[in-house]
Every structure is written in structure tokens, then in C-alpha cells.
Amino acid sequence: MDHTNLPGTLDQLLLLPRESESVEFKSNWDDPDDIGQYLSALANAAALERRDRAWLVWGVDAATNSVKGTLFNPFAEKGEGHQPLIMWLTHLTLPRPDFKFHELTHPDGRVVMLEIHPPRTAPLAFKGVRYIRVDSHKVKLAEHPDKEARLWEGLAGSEDWTGVAVPEAALDDLDPEAIEFARIKFTEYLIKSEPDDSRHEKIRTEAKSWDIPTLLNKARITKQGRITRSALLLLGRDEAAHFLARADAKISWILRDTKNRAAASQHFGIPFLLGTEKVFARVRNVAIEHMPDGTLFPTAVRQYDAWVIREALHNCIAHQDYQLGGKINVVEYPDRLVFSNLGQFIPPSVEWMLEHQSPPEHYRNQWLIDGMIRLRMIDQVGSGIRRMFETQRERFFPLPDYTIDSAEPGPPRVEVAIIGEVLDAKYTQMLITRSDLELHHVLLLDRVQKRKPLTKDDARVLRALKLIEGRAPSYFISAKVADWTRQRASYIRNRGLDDTYYQRLVIEYLEKYGQASRKDLDELLLPKLPDILDTVQKANKIKNLLQAMRQAMLVQREGPRSKAIWRLLARGREALDKRGPMQGD
């Protein structure tokens, strides 16, 4: 299609026999959430079908493919919080979507066309959820693993840049000090991975005896003795950086004063295995002497946790898109550290990472990440981001602030700010007094203390738990911390229990009775779900729980969905044997 000729494009779309995976017709429909979900679904469908556009068209009768006209005006519509619709959609969709609304005057009425470009690096997610089209229906991508796998395969495109061998590079281009430090860290990795203590000394002896090619091959730094780009990034001599062009393999540390003026700076090249420690040494991690009420911390505490600094910096190295040609930046302000790297954020959202506590299925720099895991630079199980949040929470400091692909010009980037001061004394008191709050609730409270907006649902949850007061958008953290003891029972009812608890209920039921219908499982679980959830949310909670158990091979569903029977699988019985039966409810 000639997309520069919009009337002609509309005519060609109207000639289609019906709606398709990448074409949807609407009349005057204007629900913002639905538009966001269709934006994700149509974009991902276009990527899956290798189409250069998808289209969402208002003013067309889907039954007859005829123009009827529309009153929908995307330039006047609002999203949540009265934010302009287009800006609202852009901010809630990751990676940042490429779309444009067009207005056309047709002989039979006004038409609005939403032109959607397919994503290039990762499936589009709206509000942290990825959608796809099945025929002309919008569904969640996670419910169709085959389509999801094909979509990722298509988006992956070329091979991993960090795993490519550099024929001109040799072992002499690697830094000897970095190699010996790599031997130490890889030995630590092997020992940590071996539960049998009696084998640890043998591991140390073997690791000391390996020659350099054997060491680097085993640590997945080189490939059959060939120097990879990953090897140069982690262990290369500074003068070998030319092998990585056009990548700018540097970490820049910049110190700014209270007026945002650069007070000092330094640039660190490869090898990154040693360079990160040099960056860490430049950070002025000063002690904070006074905290809220003067008695919360009897001794001084550092502004930043050392592990959090290293984790944020190592994440930048692991996920930088080196082909974009930019540096990694660490900017130190009097009250915060800001780390940034270029490239799209691959998971659906930071909230998704915190909720799932597992690594995404796809990484940009898989070979580099494999090596960093074996050199103990990053966490093997993908829980580093969550641990950063938990560490800040345990220190009673504000949670990390992620800015993903900001509206600034230039290539996509990810930025995380670690705040080194108390912003709201009531937030700190809340964390101290209510130590068993779920991380999700702490995350929402953190938004309140930073004066960030809450959705209506989020505000409703915090109000039900008596954590906030005030009216939208000016919420504030409740000062009634002392009431927590009396509110504990109500809080537990509203908070609900860990998914593991509900899974065990299902497993024990199936073990005892052999099978269950969805009605049986609803009767089992509904009375135990949090009071804060409405009927639809409770039904979705059970559906998602069963789906997760099925994907984990704990249970299986037999028969059509409407009359499905659920049975226990061997892995579910193994899980029950390991955990033991529950003692009551």
C-alpha cells in the first residue's frame, strides 16, 4: 500500500473481506484502556506478520466495511488523570510506540485512522501487558506461547553482538590483571554452585591449574579460544577498544553540585571487570548523621548500599545496546546517583520484573550476560532488580526510580536513580512500623512520597489498607501509624496470601479427590482471596493462578475450557512432598 496516500490506503482497507490480525474497524468507540490494548495487539501482530503497518480505523462499520462516520476525536480525548490521550498512550506503552492519528474527510463521513508501526526490539506492552491478535480478536500474548516465541524470533534478527568473535584480536589484547581477577571470581562462582563442601578444595585446585584459554572458555568469555566482543568488554586492555568500534566502551562518572554544575568527572574504559570498581571508588558515599525524629538510626548510615551501587552499574553494562555508540553514565548529585545506558528495556515493565521475580526469556547481550554471571557481576536468577528495591526498603530509603526511554531526543535509554536521603518521614515511619507490607504496596507508597500520580485502583487499595489520606491527586501517607496494631487483622484480610499458599490448596485438593472442575476450585479459593478484590478481580486471580500452575507443569487441564477438568501432574505431587501438607487454613 502507498501509505502517503491515506484516502487510497483507506479504500484498500475497505476492500478487505473482513478485519484481520493487523486491521481493526470501529465506530465511535473511545475507551482509553481498550485503545492502548489494541495499540499493543495490532503492533505486535504487524511484527509477527512482517507487515510495515497496522491500522485501527474509526468511522467504519465492521460488518459491512462501509464508512459511516465517527465523532471520535483523538486530539481532544483524555486518558486517566485528564492527560491528553496521545501522550497518555505513549507513556504507558513500552517500548515507546511509533504511531500517528490521521483525520480524513470521506464522502460518507469523517474517518480517523491510527497508523501503527511494528516494534523492532521487543513486543509492545500496554500497562505492563503484551497483547496480540488471533484472527480479529485481541488477546494476551502470554496466553499464546507459540506466537510469542515466533514474535521474539522475528524481533531478535541478527546474532548477539557481544558473542561475535573478533578475528584480529588475540589473548595479548586482554589485560593480565583482569584475567587473574576473572579466575578468582569464576572460582567463587563454581564453589557457590557446588553444594558439596567436600569438593570445594578440588575446585580451587583445578581452577588454579587451568591455562588462560581453558579458563576463558569455561567461563564463557571466549568461544573455542576465539576472542569475543564480550571478552574485550570485560577483560580487554584499554588500547584494544578499537576492536569494538563503533561502540564507545566507556563508563563516565560525573559529579554535580546543588546547582547542577559539573564539579568533577572521569572516564573509565575497558576492562569493565576492573573499571566498575574504579567507578565505585569515586562515588562519595557519605554518612548521614540525622534521620527523622533523630532516633530511628542510633548510628550513622551511608547514603547508598554498596551492593545496590554495583548492581545498578553492572546492569548498565549487561544491557547497554553497544551498537548505538553511546557511553554508560553515572551521575552523582548531592542527594542521588543516576545510572543510565542506551537501549530499549526488554521486559514489559519494571513492575513486571518485581512481580515475576524471574528473568525475561530474552536478553539483548546473552553472551555478555552469561560471562558476567560466571564472573559474579550479576545475579544468576534474574532477581537483581527486586533485590535493589528490597534493599532500599530495608534501609527505609526511597525506592529506585526507573525512567525508561524518556521523551528526550536521541536513542532509547534506561535510567535508574538511587536516592540517598529521606524524602518523607512518615514513609520511613510506615516502613519501620509495618515491616510486613508487600513490596507492591511499598512501591505505591513510594509514588505517594515522590508526588507521583496513582491510578484509581491503586489509590483504592492504599485507602483500604489505611496507608494514605487526602484526595486525588494530592494523596499523602497516613500519619496514623500507631493504629497498625489494631488494624492488623483487617490488613491481613485485604492483603491476601502468597500465591504459593493458594497453589498448595489446589494441589492438596487434587491429591485428595483426583480431579476438580473450575467450579470446585472457585469454591475452594474464593473464600480465601483478599476482601479488597471485587468479583471480576477474584475470577481473574484464580484464572491466572491456574494458568501459572499449568505452565509450571504442576497441573493439567483436560477437555474444552467451559467443561475443563483439572488433574495433578507428577511435578505437583513432588512439590507437595517437598513442602509437606498444610496445617489447617
426-443 pLDDT per residue, tens: 787 777 777 778 888 889
Q: Is residue 1 in a domain?
A: no
- Segment 508-525, tens digit of pLDDT: 999 888 999 999 999 999
Q: Concatenated DSSP letters for 394-415?
A: HTT-PPPEEEES-SSSSS-EEE
Q: Do 191 and 319 fall within a single domain?
A: yes
* Last residue of one domain, picked from the residues 107, 126, 156: 156
Neighbours of 42 (CB within 10 A): 29
- 351: CB partners within 8 A, 6+ apart: 128, 443
- Helices 176-193 and 200-209 cross at an angle (nearest 10°) of 160
Q: Do 239 and 258 fall within a single domain?
A: yes
pTM of the model: 0.66
Tell me the backbone φ, ψ of residue 137, rounded to 5 degrees: -110, 145
Q: How many residues are present in the chain?
A: 585
- Asked if residues 152 and 361 have their Cβ atoms less than 8 Å apart, the reply is yes
Q: Is residue 189 in a domain?
A: yes
Q: Do 491 and 503 fall within a single domain?
A: no
Strand arrangement, sheet containing 129-134: 93-94, 125-126, 129-134, 137-140
- Segment 389-436, tens digit of pLDDT: 999 988 888 999 998 865 556 678 899 999 998 887 778 777 777 777
> Residue 282 and residue 272: Cα distance in Å, rounded?
15
321 CB-contact burial (10 Å; exposed 0-12 / middle 13-18 / buried 19+): buried
- Segment 100-158, tens digit of pLDDT: 999 999 999 999 999 999 988 788 999 888 999 988 889 999 888 888 888 887 776 55
Q: How are beta strands 251-256 and 328-332 bridged, if at all?
A: parallel
- Asked if residues 444 and 433 have their Cβ atoms less than 8 Å apart, the reply is no
- Segment 442-461, tens digit of pLDDT: 899 888 888 888 888 889 98
Place of cell 583482569: 178
Q: How are beta strands 474-477 and 468-471 bridged, if at all?
A: antiparallel
Q: Which domain holds residue 484?
A: 425-495
Q: Is residue 270 in a domain?
A: yes
> Residue 363 and residue 327: Cα distance in Å, rounded?
19
Q: Do 299 and 445 fall within a single domain?
A: no
- Asked if residues 359 and 382 have their Cβ atoms less than 8 Å apart, the reply is yes
CA neighbor of 211 nearest in space, from 183, 237, 192, 173:
183
Q: What confidence category does residue 367 fall into, taking pLDDT thresholds of 50, 70 and 90? A: very high
Q: Do 298 and 288 fall within a single domain?
A: yes
> Residue 475 and residue 451: Cα distance in Å, rounded?
8
> Residue 241 and residue 231: Cα distance in Å, rounded?
11
What total of structural domains would you count in the chain? 4
Going by the DSSP 8-state scheme, the letter that residue 82 receives in this structure is: G
Residue 360 is predicted with a pLDDT of: 66
Helix (H) / strand (E) containing 219 = none
Q: Do 323 and 456 fall within a single domain?
A: no
Q: Do 96 and 164 fall within a single domain?
A: no
Residue 298 is predicted with a pLDDT of: 47
Residues paired with 254 in a beta bridge: 265, 331
Q: Do 375 and 431 fall within a single domain?
A: no
CA distances 104 to 87, 89, 109, 400, 475, Å, are 22, 22, 9, 45, 42
* Last residue of one domain, picked from the residues 130, 156, 182: 156
Q: Do 559 and 571 fall within a single domain?
A: yes
Q: Where residue 22 sits, what CATH number does that domain have?
A: 3.30.950
Q: Is residue 584 in a domain?
A: no
Label each residue of 119-153 as H, E or C: CCCCCCEECCEEEEEECCEEEEHHHCHHHHHHHHH
CA 98 to chain centre: 20
Q: Do 372 and 512 fall within a single domain?
A: no
> Residue 138 and residue 136: Cα distance in Å, rounded?
7
Q: Do 477 and 439 fall within a single domain?
A: yes
Q: Is residue 430 in a domain?
A: yes
Strands (E), 368-409: 401-404
Residue 330 is predicted with a pLDDT of: 97
Q: Is residue 68 in a domain?
A: yes
Looking at residues 181-185, what average pLDDT do you find?
97
> Residue 583 and residue 475: Cα distance in Å, rounded?
41
Q: Is residue 402 in a domain?
A: no
Q: Whole-number mean pLDDT of the chain?
A: 86
Q: Is residue 403 in a domain?
A: no
CA neighbor of 567 nearest in space, from 513, 499, 519, 524:
513
CA neighbor of 425 nearest in space, from 297, 290, 303, 291:
291
- Segment 288-345, tens digit of pLDDT: 764 545 444 445 678 999 999 999 999 999 999 998 888 999 999 999 999 999 987 8
* Last residue of one domain, picked from the residues 392, 415, 437: 392
Q: Do 308 and 344 fall within a single domain?
A: yes
